[in-house]
Structure 1
């Protein structure tokens, strides 16, 4: 509102200038003192400079705050969204909405609306003052303005559509490029650099095509507007000179009218520019608003918190059925599973058996379509996502490095952990060499795969969770380090629950209970020895694991 007030005040100064100029000319013709009108002109100039500077700084700061708030809102919603809602979209496209679309929103939110109102008022004010000076010349001017306005109204929607399509393809460029950079090693080994680049550049070319289309239409619109105003000025000059010769119009009035005519381009330009920026901003706002439509994880419990520890199991799945979308085949079908408060449970099965889906359900990345999951005897539906995950820790097989230092990575789950706890957990996972350099920045290339796994395991073991979920946390470790990590897991299993997706024979043998999954169902469960004798699928899996590790099934 203050920006609009300042804009209108500035426009008032501009509208007053031709009238003061007429005052100067009239005083000169009447041999009167010029001190009054000259002082008025200088005053208008100085006040205009102050208003312009104030408005520019204020609206610029406002625009940046709008961008910050939009980015803050989107970042929070993206990180609070459900896993399926985020993974259905290309991450690079979502990043583009946070970085690029918000810049388009800035102009629309800060200055475009003010510019439209101010431009409209200035246009009307200019025409009114022209009417005060001479109604015949005003009619000539209005005819030109109407023609220009109709041309703009015809061309503007096409310009906005072209800009929207261009920005849409910019988002695709971001998505494809982000995915390509994540898979850069695979692309290079496949000698696919040029082919991958072409696919990305295709979207860039399409974006450029639409941008050029918008530029062409803008050029036509501006040329027509400029030509229309220039033609109007020529007509005004001709008609005005004729009316001066008839003695019905003063020369000073004609000059003032011409100054208004020359200035008429400014509000028309302001209107069209701000209308274009507003349309681009509205298109960007629609893409930003789609982030608000992402399904969010629960933050308010449906019932009162966690029950006191006393249920026979820490985790329980009762007849759980789940799929990744409403129209896809269920990945888990009627699973019943009990995870005791202590001990090591290994989950095995062929590819596609539902092992990862089971973890996604326990971690609440995926919601069951049927059945129920209980934590400490309390159904998940009565708990927030945060309450559930506060009792769990998770180590992915392909453990990513979180942006930041070693300390940042370790403190991700428990930011209140002390220095002694960090040093101890690093020692337990055989990363004592990192203890003296906790503030070293990490990147995917600064640590090996085994080190990434051990950092993730150290993070999970910090502050001893009730349930430790491991997606084969020893897959990238050498024999000596694997043995040390197994000792950590065994120690944790003696104090709480450990659930492992097992891909290595050593993990299977060490488990207290082994659950065999097949086609999304629990086929069998028991000890290693018992299953080896009673379950044909388990025996074949063990044989495959043994051959992969160079051992004999009998020795296993």
Structure 2
């Protein structure tokens, strides 16, 4: 799985998110403090009213006290409204920044890391964890902060009105302290396990859906169902564990925060008989303790929500740990020569799929890599494009290892185009300018014409948003982005595989004209691209077994000649 941030990293990152908006944060806290202070006026006023009525008073006095209470209640309601509005605006700013930084982090994760972790883990973080974190920031965190402020102010008010009556309230402290300590030692780990179990289930389901035809063809339905059931059982066990924690903690806390008001009422009556407190003081203290129940209940209820939110937040922040470390600017390539020296690579430790590859690609050369499926062509192509780093050996561009080039510099030199092509939500222009943000319309049309896509693109228009493109058109769109990006070395991994042979042939001729003078490494099963190449590399079992021009290899009568004859049906 992808990394999960530790507590210290989570606290530091969360603090940084809110500190980035000091003025707004101060405004939110001030409004909530003033609102909480306005809510503290009613209990002592009611205590005064009880004493006045008991001693005998006038209707005017009662009316004045009632009007004062109503005024404070209205003021509190108005202040709470604006405090919540300000808190919501701050939360949205924080969430927007969090989402943007999360997306930046996701895009910076090396593809090899994502492939090892599985897409389910990344998808669950991008969907479930983002949603849970959003809910916690928008609802749980403000409720907890406000509840704590209200509690502190209320306790301070009791200390001012009747400090002696704080003693009975302490009866709840042991139950709250030990119960919460027991819960919070266990809850974070439980919620992280629950999130991990959900990610595993999502990964398994996505894998089954994507490979549904293969599953049916091989008759593995029952096995996949059993695996999904096992993952659901694991998720159920993880969820049941966190539920068991709540079923212990909630009843303890419910009892603990309801107890002080009752004890204070009994003890207060005795204090009144001893002359240590007045009826008004006891009334105010009991009302304050009753008022504490609501913020304390919200704090404890949302604390459980926050545990899940913090677990999700830790998974989001952990994505930053999976990103490739920034590479400082170092030596610049002296030329465009791409050289692989004794390259070895493995997806699983101890099982190399490439074995001692040596290959020098000349600037401006068109090299075709051919060979049977599973021979290692695509893996070698990814290494030449800097997607993966070799386990041993090196791949250098102009005497500089690819791993020492900053990612932006690397992509200006070398680009990879695979069989997977994406059409993003937005206009055709926005899809094209992903490769070059400052491209003019003329440059966009030139790139489209280069890949033989101008006709259908003109019919749609650059501002078109309904981009229901065929696979071939999507592929042409990806190649147009490539032309706009303008790297000097291209690795084409089956880049024209979904276009019919005649269209592919035409597209490759157009692409060859546009890329004249650039280095092209073409990985393909269709041997017409090999025929047109300057040199052909035959990859078998993770090794380059033949290297030379098309004519040389056909004359040699080796593996390439056999492939050529087979392709022509001879």
Q: TM-score range by the shorter chain?
A: 0.7 to 0.9
Return the alpha-carbon distance in structure 1 between the equivalents of residues 216 and 477 of structure 2: 28
Change (3 A) 1:297 1:358: farther
CA RMSD of aligned residues (A): 3.6
**Are 2:71 and 1:48 equivalent residues in the alignment?**
no
Matches within 5 A, 1:53-72: 53-72=81-100
**Contact residue 532 and residue 538 of structure 1 kept, 8 A:** yes
Change (3 A) 1:459 1:274: closer
Larger Rg: 1
**Contact residue 233 and residue 262 of structure 1 kept, 8 A:** yes
Comparing 537-546 and 55-64, the one that deviates more: 537-546
Residue 103 of structure 2 is matched in structure 1 by 75
Return the alpha-carbon distance in structure 2 between the equivalents of residues 325 and 76 of structure 1: 26
**Contact residue 113 and residue 278 of structure 1 kept, 8 A:** no
**Contact residue 417 and residue 479 of structure 2 kept, 8 A:** yes
**Contact residue 320 and residue 332 of structure 1 kept, 8 A:** no
Matches within 5 A, 1:236-315: 236-241=264-269, 244=272, 250-296=278-324, 298=326, 300-303=328-331, 305-307=332-334, 311=335, 314-315=336-337
CA offsets per residue over residues 491-543 of structure 1, 9 Å max, x none?
A: 34643332211312222222221122334333231122221232522233333
Residue 410 of structure 1 is matched in structure 2 by 432
**Contact residue 376 and residue 540 of structure 2 kept, 8 A:** yes
Residue 479 of structure 2 is matched in structure 1 by 457
CA offsets per residue over residues 337-389 of structure 1, 9 Å max, x none?
A: 23233342111233343321221122110123444434356553553222232
Identify the match of residue 47 of structure 2 among 3, 14, 22: 22
Identify the match of residue 436 of structure 1 among 459, 468, 485: 459
Change (3 A) 1:398 1:46: closer
Residue 19 of structure 2 is matched in structure 1 by none
Return the alpha-carbon distance in structure 2 between the equivalents of residues 498 and 236 of structure 1: 83
Residue 476 of structure 1 is matched in structure 2 by 498
Residue 179 of structure 2 is matched in structure 1 by 151
CA offsets per residue over residues 38-86 of structure 1, 9 Å max, x none?
A: 4432332233223312221222222222222221111101112222122
Residue 385 of structure 2 is matched in structure 1 by 363
List runs of 5+ in structure 2 lacking aligned partners.
1-24
**Contact residue 151 and residue 292 of structure 2 kept, 8 A:** no
Cα distance, 1:437 vs structure 2: 0.5
The TM-score, its normalising length taken from structure 1, stands at: 0.82
CA offsets per residue over residues 172-209 of structure 1, 9 Å max, x none?
A: 34434444554466567778889767755765565455
**Contact residue 429 and residue 457 of structure 1 kept, 8 A:** yes
SS at match of 2:387: coil
Residue 114 of structure 1 is matched in structure 2 by 145
CA offsets per residue over residues 314-346 of structure 1, 9 Å max, x none?
A: 332141423245834333343332323334211
**Contact residue 44 and residue 161 of structure 2 kept, 8 A:** no
Residue 543 of structure 1 is matched in structure 2 by 565
Cα distance, 1:294 vs structure 2: 0.8
Return the alpha-carbon distance in structure 1 between the equivalents of residues 351 and 241 of structure 2: 45
Cα distance, 1:170 vs structure 2: 3.2
Return the alpha-carbon distance in structure 2 between the equivalents of residues 161 and 112 of structure 1: 23
SS at match of 1:330: strand
Change (3 A) 1:11 1:410: closer
Return the alpha-carbon distance in structure 1 between the equivalents of residues 369 and 218 of structure 2: 34
Comparing 383-392 and 191-200, the one that deviates more: 191-200
SS at match of 2:174: helix
Identify the match of residue 467 of structure 1 among 477, 481, 489: 489
CA offsets per residue over residues 414-468 of structure 1, 9 Å max, x none?
A: 343343444444445443233310444477xx44433333333333344754233
Matches within 5 A, 1:102-141: 102-106=130-134, 107=136, 110-111=141-142, 114-115=145-146, 117-118=148-149, 121-122=152-153, 124-125=155-156, 128=159, 131-132=162-163, 135=164, 138-141=166-169
Return the alpha-carbon distance in structure 2 between the equivalents of residues 228 and 41 of structure 1: 29
The TM-score, its normalising length taken from structure 2, stands at: 0.81
Cα distance, 1:121 vs structure 2: 1.6
Identify the match of residue 388 of structure 1 among 406, 410, 425: 410
Identify the match of residue 549 of structure 2 among 527, 533, 538: 527
**Contact residue 524 and residue 535 of structure 1 kept, 8 A:** no
Change (3 A) 1:140 1:392: closer
Comparing 114-123 and 333-342, the one that deviates more: 114-123
**Contact residue 412 and residue 486 of structure 2 kept, 8 A:** no
Change (3 A) 1:466 1:37: same
Return the alpha-carbon distance in structure 1 between the equivalents of residues 147 and 273 of structure 2: 39
SS at match of 1:390: helix
**Contact residue 123 and residue 268 of structure 1 kept, 8 A:** no
Change (3 A) 1:5 1:441: closer
Return the alpha-carbon distance in structure 1 between the equivalents of residues 558 and 518 of structure 2: 31
Residue 14 of structure 2 is matched in structure 1 by none
SS at match of 2:322: coil
**Are 2:539 and 1:517 equivalent residues in the alignment?**
yes
